[in-house]
Structure 1
């Protein structure tokens, strides 16, 4: 094989190294590894599957150390093989080759079928990674024939399935993966099942069977999250985001993309990569150092026996080995730096792709909500308009009750849809605060007047406490401020019966044109529990299910308030106690225009205008709305013509 030939010289070098350092070991052992080493190997396998790479490396280092101490060649071979597989997971194929070569030297003089099978298994994976799929299948078949371990057979099946997927041999891949779903492996049962579900999800995605792919992807994600298989959880979220996007389930795709961002933040950070690289390099360099120490010990023994010719040969060999190790170490350190930079670059690209996916999912969700909400508003206008017309046509008393209930429901649903559209605009960053001259006291009085009817219905008193030091002319966005107070005061009225709602404005600070104003809306209503105060500003949240049933509402009012205040770089705060009421307060920075004269208050004389005989042009593309509008105008004795678009107006 290409990678074996490229390391032929290195192989001979390690052969000499191992003969000198392990000369006292019994090579032709027939027994299985010492029981003292097996727990380390099992623990390292579990840590590897959970992506705890640095801990797995340290555990395998202990296993190799224990094997050398016990003079157990088979256990040492197993340790080197596990290290090779672990470096494959890190995509450090040069280090994989390093430990594969060390195992090769030991296997040459050791009868160990299980070791030979794993050796060919690693070789097959290297072939698969270099797109030599048929050679990889041939090597896996050889490993299968000499393998005498039932549990390792499952890993061969998994590797075969991945190669079959590459070759688009879906029937063979399905057979292998389904057998792994029900595997009874005593070491990696759950990990193999997770990998099998992932393979099936990828297979069905390639075949275009999206629902089956999603089912297996969710099974894989559930298994991975349950058992801490972080990399498999990442892969499952990537697959599911892609599947749900193709299915048009944009909410699900967005959720998986968010999960992916969290996983990437936990896995791919520079500090973790540094720890893994440092641990990997330390273990490899420690092994080289141990070989040098072994050579020095051998030299001392030969000196005592006064075998000068042998001492000279050993010293020469030791010198060459040390020089070679230093050269290899310098070369590898340079490779490690390049590899680390490439790895960080790759991970940054992956994070960029994941972020772009999340943004795309968010845009899809925003467009979907906007389209659906706009489409719903058109028929709702028809429902509320027709109900209004029916109420004006003197219906019977028993019909009035039903019509009023219908109108209330239509208005409620229309307000709900408007709230969703408002939140959607804020989330999509389509709203920006205006900066215009206005009178704050006038705005506050208009909001209070518009809510007086609701307050009277609840027998609640509205009180405005306005600081007279607040300038008459301010620069900010009066429309968005009105929306904030409409929601806050409306909320306070809804949850306060036979009580009082007090709105307070106070000048906190003024320096030249810059002013800071404090606002508070306080009520003595039902209050909010400590637990619910943490989530009350989240979308669709109310105090409890019982409160929602009794008082109604969408739970979006406070979310809108929080989002609107963020446009002013302000944050809303809350103080509340159950049964004693609530207080919402915040501060906003504005600019004052002191040089402008105060507004002169005047009363507008109300007049009734007679539109009888007026003729209008109605431009409306919806047939039902055309009929409703025309009928409303007719009731006012106004004639009209209708055009569906601008072309028909000509």
Structure 2
């Protein structure tokens, strides 16, 4: 029975009402009071209010009843129904122009979104509600909203600002003698002081709530759970356990999900501290099930973090990995909403409009940037494909010595241009901190020779000397990122050649210092060029900036080079300085740390394709789909020269490709993406969905200048089997063609069996060993995860070495009996374990295996993928066994 002072007061008012609409309004107020004690009773009252309002055609009463009903669903954790009901209430409030009702509905929207962890949406609705309450001058209602905003700041860990808002609301609620609002703000203050580790203040507010709340109500059990978690932090485990246990029992009777989650969570931590891991796991899983069922993302984030620590303590490393990774992902999703700065200075009207405009501008800018990057990449790479391809073909035609020199220069310059294109494409990644620095074995001398080969012709044209040297103290092999080192040196030395009219350019590499296996390598790029004025030295590393307008007019360039260099050097853990004297020259000095490679002998590179693979390629029937005449010429001539017996047809757009396939079958389709009439994506979709078998299962390789990651991912989603970027390398194209065919029976094999010796094994039984990087594992993530703790790293590596072979065996045995669901499950389990060991997806193809095992159209692609995975894992196991200290 409800017998609070406010409820009794409302009962008296109800008895005095003579108008049905007045009675309905009073019933709504009573329902709000009941809602905080018995939510199910309040829900029934809301239904009654809605029906009574419909009888007397009272839309405000219907709206208020719906708002009460939606708020009840919120408190019951039924967010989906709550949002649906509140949408009806908001529609009515807007239609009848009731600003106060609209504010209440918006506030309840915000409460639901906050519980769901959608803080950006919560803030938007709280701010709109605050605007409405300011319009009608309702100070009390404004304070209710500000309390909710204080809770939002608490969610974002901005406890000082949260405290400031809550303390401002406290005297307003005290003056109004509104017990419900006081209890809410006391709970908020208790939580804030708890997080600020001011436990005596936290106890005070939770005890106040316990004293002023009715037993067996939501407010009472919330206060009990608050006391329980404060006592836990104060290490008063007896009181903590007592309050948490009592609160849990009562919350279960009331159906209060929030309190149940809190109690299960802190009881789990109590059991964990007491080394009762089994009971701890049971409590934490109970908290997790409730948080997941009711979509409470903040709670899920905290639970995942503690579960990770518990599983680590129990020695279950895969589960510890899983929960840690999920915790990090949830934390990033919740906290990346970028609303903290908006909340610090709450200027609501201006901020809502500004946020809307900023969002529109940001979205439009992102779309334009993506479109620009994709178009630029395609437009540059398409003619580059023809230049590189024709140069390569001419190199095979026995050119004269001077022609050979020019062709080599063309090829090197084109390769250099591709590096520049990739720099521009990578610039956004660098600025976003998403660029990945590799750690592979390489020869610094080979890197320097590559730089020399690329710049020698340009230096000779300018009649300057190009000097290169490497300190003998430097080991033959280092571990680092040779591509990024080459990128930095090409940029610095290229600039030096560009700005030097007489004298020399020198690139000297030396050993700066050595500590164990860590080597600091120094790169000095010196020139006798124009130099840099003192007033420009500080600005040359800024984007799109050169040393003065005169330099830009005379020498050209984008001004991006030094910006990218400095960022790359920083990402590799190095530093970069410059010394220059106007008219006399410049020296750029770069120092980067590397590891000494474990293996110092040079490896002999084997051929990419073995005789079996070449025989398979020679028997292929291929369709080339390409609209660009020059690119068609390059691809046709290259394929016919490298694979003399290949049967090659040509289509100039996607429609022609589909028509060809309707008439005859091919082993492989080399599909361009951007074409007139019909593009490659549309053609692939039609082939996969409309053509009959076996044509619909033809192998399709995207061969395109569109190389952005999201584009490449889309090619696989629509059903393509492989991807080769333009300009293509002949070896890469042949390898990709062989890769997509080696797992299934090629058309040519059935047609030309008569030409093969009868005792020769079928080709798919003897797939070529995949070409793998020098090192497939990378311990950087594991080092970060364990803080460099060798014992923990060895423990995680040991768990991987124990679990991964079992999963690999499951995949292998499942493939033998065509058990594709088992392959998908095992691949899904193996995928995160490989990533923790630093094995990249583009090497393992484990994600592609998982996806292919779930799609009947791609079952045929699994054998070569799994063959590759087995070789990769064998190498990974060897590396990890050798790395354990």
The TM-score range, normalised by the shorter chain, is: 0.3 to 0.5
* TM-score, with structure 2 as normaliser: 0.31
Q: Which has the larger radius of gyration?
A: 1
- Higher RCO by CA contacts (8 Å cutoff, separation 6 or greater): 1
**What TM-score, normalized by structure 1, do the two folds share?**
0.41
